[in-house]
Structures are given as structure tokens and as C-alpha cells.
Amino acid sequence: MATAKKTLRVSQALGHAITDKRLQILRSLSKAGSISQAARDAGVSYKAAWQAIDTLSNLSGLALVEKVVGGAGGGGTRLTQAGQQLLDAAQRLGSARKQLMANIQQSATHQALPKASLALTFRTSMRNQFLAEVTKLNISGGLAWVTVQLPDSTQWVAKITRESAQLLDLQAGVEVMVWCKATAVGMSRQAPVAPPANVVSGKVKRKSRSEPAEISLQIGPNLNLIGFAAHPGINTGDSVYAFFEDSSLVLALV
């Protein structure tokens, strides 16, 4: 039985700007022929460089690099044909995106584009999506704790891997999208006895009739958090606590 030929999923792999550090690693690899050198050029660890390549390979559906055995330099790593095609597509997409954003900006009578417009390319099952800014980064071992601040000054902490923090080039002042599954957010009228990393209070804006009840909690003038309450007795207008672990937050670059 013939096997279907796999094709490069360019649109899946190039969901971000050409400045994406993962693409920077591919570009360096195409010149240096070495993962170690590509990692040094990008300012990330060897492990983070491989994570970037694996992620892009997962998204593109094809192997983007291959080992080179022997030779004067003792071997190394190089881009496959698919890897080079991805870089070429990234270059063209970057130029087109830059021109498109310039045209949109000009047609908007020189007003700044809403930040939310920069996040419209994302489609995800995450019910909770916020724009935020990194205020602090603490790294210990293979983990990183990232403190982010929402527009109303609410601060949350996200726990990610050290490599992810490197690949996103996170530091104070970087704007990010913060994602959280609604099913990861618990809600109660009382503050949790053993609170997780993130606790925020607000007023119930909407409540479903299902059990457990889905609740839309207003935590700021224009900010709403979706979660679930396992216990009855919560009504619209009530003051409620929402809580979730640092590991339940996902960060993405805008």
C-alpha cells in the first residue's frame, strides 16, 4: 500500500514573526552547521536549541535538520530541504507581514493599533486569555517563575521551563499573552485555606445552571475570568475568590 507523501505545513510552523528565536536558531544552524554554535548565537542553552527544533518539526510535520557524519570537520548538523524551505517561507512571510502592518497602521489615521489586534492570529481552546507584561523572572534549576502584570495591575505567577523562558527571551518589560484553561480555575466564597500560587477576587458576573457551575468573574473594569465552583450557594453579584496553580498558566509572545 502506497504511503501518502508528507508535505511541509508552513502555515502551522510560522505563526509568529520572523524574529522568532526558534527561526533564529534554524538560520544560525544553516550557516554554522552546529547545534552548539546555533545555541550560542541565539543566547540559549544547547537543550533549548533542540527544544526549538523539535517544536518546529512537530508543527511543520517534517524533519527540519539531519546529522552529517564524517568529513573534515568530523560531522555536524544541517538543515534538510524542508528546513531550508521553511526559512525561505519565513523570510517572505516576514516581508509581507511588515508591509501589511504598515498599510493597516497608515489606514488607521496614524492611531496606534489596539494591542488585542496583535493576538488575533491565535485560536485556542483556552477560555481565559489576557494581555500582560512581565515584571519579574526567577530561574532555579530547570524551572522559571515568571511574574506578569495585567492591565489592572493584578499580578500572577506562571511556572515554565528554563528553556521556554530562554526561547521566549523573557525579561521585565516583555509583553505576553497569558492563557489559562477555565477548568484549571476554582472558585469559592471563602479564600482557600492552603492557597495555590495565584488567588484573585471579584464579583460574579454570570453563572451557569450546570454542576459544577461555570462562573464568569469580573476581576477588573474590563477583565473577566472563567472558572468553576464545585459548591452551591454562589449567586450573581457575590464576591468570590478564584484560584489556580502557577503551572496552569501558559505564556505566549504577542
Q: Which three cell numbers stand for residue 168?
A: 521566549
d(CA 249, CA 177): 10
Which residues touch 143 (CB under 8 Å, ≥6 apart)?
159, 160, 161, 162
pLDDT at 81: 92
**DSSP-based three-state secondary structure for 25:** helix
pLDDT at 73: 52
pLDDT at 60: 84
Amino acid letter, residue 243:
F
CATH architecture for segment(s) 128-253? Beta Barrel (2.40)
Q: Which three cell numbers stand for residue 12?
A: 502551522
Class (C level, CATH) for 10-89:
mainly alpha
pLDDT at 18: 44
Contact predicate 56/24, CB 8 Å: no
Mean pLDDT, 10 residues at a time, the chain of 254 residues: 57 52 90 92 92 87 84 72 89 79 64 56 82 96 96 94 94 94 94 90 92 91 90 88 97 86
Q: What residue ranges do the domains of the chain occupy?
A: 10-89, 128-253
pLDDT at 93: 80
d(CA 46, CA 52): 10
Contact predicate 170/178, CB 8 Å: no
Contact predicate 228/242, CB 8 Å: no
d(CA 217, CA 115): 23
pLDDT at 178: 94
d(CA 202, CA 240): 6
pLDDT at 253: 86
CA-based nearest residue to 147, from 118, 123, 168, 170: 170
